[in-house]
Amino acid sequence: MALTHLDSSGQARMVDVGAKPDTHRTAVARATVTMSRAAYDAIVQGNVKKGDALGAARIAGVMAAKRTSDLIPLCHPITLTRVEVRCEPVDGRIEIEARVECVGKTGVEMEALTAVSIAALTIYDMVKGMDRGMKIGEVRLVARSGGKSGEWTADDYRHDREG
């Protein structure tokens, strides 16, 4: 099997997507930040000294999705049509979800994963004075669509691995 990001001499390269058709593409990624009860309560009550941690995380996630090709060396710059980042407090942790969309020649999985990762890091930065032991985890792609490979969900993957 040929590796798509290596040229014939084994050097890393950006894949040529010029001949691919433009299609509507989406990706959804999730992450969690687990923390102490005091840090969680401060976020929920809006008492974080640095300000609105969840609002800052949402904005940081959107900004990160737009800059993914600057951060991940072989990612194509993509014109995004939608980036939505949600940060929800749930039972002592913050659940982060990003939905990213474009009409283009390549998918937006990396943009969605980058969005949730940077949103999680922003929460850590905003609240680290209260809890340096926070855990960022479960960064994962949960769905994608568009292009030749069509629809995929994490449930499909679990069934394939368990089947």
* Strand partners for 29: 98, 141
Q: Are strands 23-34 and 152-153 parallel, antiparallel or unpaired?
A: unpaired
Give the per-residue SS3 of 30-81. EEEEECCHHHHHHHHHCCCCCCCHHHHHHHHHHHHHHCHHHHCCCCCCCCEE
pLDDT for 155 equals 81
Average pLDDT, the chain: 89
Q: Quote the pTM value.
A: 0.88
Q: Indicate the SS3 state at residue 123.
A: helix
For range 98-103, the mean pLDDT: 97
Q: What is the pLDDT of residues 39-65, one digit of tens each?
A: 999 999 999 999 999 999 999 999 999
Q: Indicate the SS3 state at residue 116.
A: helix
Q: Are strands 93-104 and 152-153 parallel, antiparallel or unpaired?
A: unpaired
Does residue 125 have an active-site annotation?
Answer: yes
- In sign, the C-alpha dihedral spanning 5, 11, 13, 15 is negative
Q: Packing angle between helix 37-45 and helix 109-127, nearest 10 degrees?
A: 100
Measured in degrees and rounded to the nearest 5, phi and psi for residue 31 equal -150, 165
The structure tokens listed for 23 are: 């299609």
Could you give the domains of the chain? 33-154 (3.30.70.640)
The single residue of 70, 125, 131, 156 carrying the catalytic annotation is: 125
